[in-house]
Amino acid sequence: MAQTSPQQLAPPRSRAARRGSSRRVLGLAPGWWFTAPALAIVTLFFLVPALASFVLSVTDFDIYALADLRNLRFVGLDNFRRILVGEQSELFWTALGNTCFFVFVGGPLSVAVSLGFALLLEAKLTRYKGALRVVFFAPVVTTLVAVSITWRYLYDVRGGLMNHALESFGIEPVNWLGDPHWAMPAIILMAVWKNFGYNMVILLAGMQSIPDELYEAASLDGAGSWRRFWHVTLPALGPTFAFVGVTTMIGYFQLFAEPYVMTRGGPENSTYSLVLLMYEEGFRWWRLGAASAVAVVLFAITLVAAFGQLALQRRAAA
């Protein structure tokens, strides 16, 4: 069967190429051997477990089941009932709400800051563009855990740099991480600082690919810098924006290390995120069934976001 491959029915592109791909080992084309190791790893250690989490989510797999599988029960959709409407629902919806706040406030804010910095850097007046780019990008490569610890101290009510700075402007100190209203904004501020450089670089690339003629034409029409930005830069950046926006949001949905290190989800669960909920359910209390239900929900949300991206890209392309 492998011998009469459909390739032989199709017109050959070149003799040599056919020879290359027909040199089989154990009846398999070389392409298979080249891809097999990577595919095996990805399948075994990513795709299979991802699917298995659906199975796990309909069981009450917990620490007792880990000790003795006879303590494992099939519970149907009970885990979902518990997190969506049942006993755990309050924590779940709080976590989802917090995560959405982080995504839909922090995400756009991040992109806006990235855009601002990209515009400033791209301006003709800028000197030492390369050095500045490196500086602005530096927070991206730092270790999230380490900078979270730093920021926890920067946010300290009494001795922290942040309140010290506010004080010098005559502003009352803020209990950044201790006040349920301020904790998530504080984490967003840190996330913006940590991440804006990444999108800035992508937006810079997008801007550099805008042909100069467009700007020149706009200038000839007498457009000022603001109108050039509004009518040339922004529309041309459309697809880049869609890409940046959606990847940022998907990434922000996975908020974990910041609250884990800085607040442990507090105060009053105001920084409790969806992934933190999954982690605590799964790897702190070892309720793997319930945690898998959270994972499945996370999966579903990401899927919706990805479809959103596709739709946006189609619209941008059209």
Partner 1 sequence: MNRIVRALVHNGLLWGLALVVLTPLAWTVKASFLPAGSAMTIAAPADEAPRDAVGFTLDNYRQLFSRLNLGRYFANSVLVSTAITAISLALNSMAGYAFAKLRFRGRDGLFKCLLAALVVPLQAAMLPLFLMLKQLGVINTYWAVIIPSMATIYGIFLVRQYALSIPDSLLDAARVDGAGEGRIFWTVVLPLLKPVLATLGVFTFLAAWNDFMWPLVVLTGNDAQTLPVALAILSGEHVQDVELMMAGSVVTVLPALFLFAILQRQLIGGIMMGSVKG
Partner 2 sequence: MTRCRQPDDRRLRRPQRAWCACLALLAAACSGCAPSESSQQTIQFWAIGAEGERVAPLVEQFHRLHPNVRVEIQQIPWTAAHEKLLTAFAGDSLPDVCQLGNTWIAEFSAIGALQDLSERVGPDRTVAPQQFFPGVWESNIVDGVPYGVPWYVDTRVLFYRTDLLAAAGFDAPPRHWDEWLEAMRAVQRRQAPGGHALLMPTNEWEQPVIFGMQTGAEMLRDDGRFGDFSGKRFGRAFDFYVDIFEEGLAPKISNTLVTNIWQQFERGEFVFCITGPWNIDQFRRRLSPSMEGKWATAPLPGPDGEYPGTSMAGGCSLVLFQSSPRQDAAWQLIEFLTRPEQQVEFFAASGNLPSNRAAWDSPQLADDPYLEAFRVQLEATRPLPRVPEWEQIAAKVWVAGEAAINGRVQPAEALAELDDQVDAILVKRRWMLAQHALGEAE
**Residue 315 binds partner 1 (CB under 8 A):** no
Token couple for 153: 């101290």
* Number of Cβ within a 10 Å radius of residue 5: 14
Q: Give which of partner 2, partner 1, none residue 93 binds (C-beta under 5 to 8 Å, depending on kind).
A: none
* Number of Cβ within a 10 Å radius of residue 23: 9
- One of 77, 149, 217, 311 touching partner 1 (CB under 8 A): 149
Specify whether the CB–CB gap between 123 and 257 falls below 8 A.
no
Residue 218: partners with Cβ closer than 8 Å, 6 or more residues away: 227, 228, 231, 232
Calpha distance 103→101 (Å, rounded): 5
Using the minimum distance from each CB to partner 2, give the nearer residue, 206 or 282: 282
Give the containing element (helix H, strand E) for 316: helix 288-317
Window 175 to 214, contacts with partner 2 (CB under 8 A):
175, 177-178, 180
Minimum CB separation of residue 58 from partner 1 in Å reads 13
Give the containing element (helix H, strand E) for 6: none
- One of 86, 90, 164, 235 touching partner 1 (CB under 8 A): 164
- One of 17, 77, 85, 217 touching partner 1 (CB under 8 A): 17
Residue 183: partners with Cβ closer than 8 Å, 6 or more residues away: 176, 177, 263, 266, 267, 270, 271
Minimum CB separation of residue 158 from partner 2 in Å reads 7
Task: Point out which span in 60-68, 199-207, 211-219, 308-316 binds partner 2 (CB under 8 A).
Answer: 60-68
Specify whether the CB–CB gap between 265 and 255 falls below 8 A.
no
Name the amino acid, one letter, at 56: L
**Residue 279 binds partner 1 (CB under 8 A):** yes
Using the minimum distance from each CB to partner 2, give the nearer residue, 206 or 289: 289
Name the amino acid, one letter, at 263: T
3-state SS assignment for residue 28? strand
Token couple for 28: 């398999």
Instruction: Sketch the per residue contact string, 57 through 96, with partner 1: x for CB under 8 A, - otherwise.
Output: ----------------------------------------
- One of 171, 283, 311, 315 touching partner 1 (CB under 8 A): 283
3-state SS assignment for residue 59? strand
Window 32 to 61, contacts with partner 1 (CB under 8 A):
32, 34-35, 37-39, 41-42, 44-50, 52-53, 55-56
Window 191 to 230, contacts with partner 1 (CB under 8 A):
193, 198, 201-202, 204-206, 209
Q: Give which of partner 1, partner 2, none residue 94 binds (C-beta under 5 to 8 Å, depending on kind).
A: none
Interaction site with partner 2 (CB under 8 A): 60, 62-64, 66-71, 73, 82, 86-88, 90, 152-153, 156-159, 175, 177-178, 180, 262-264, 266-269, 283-286
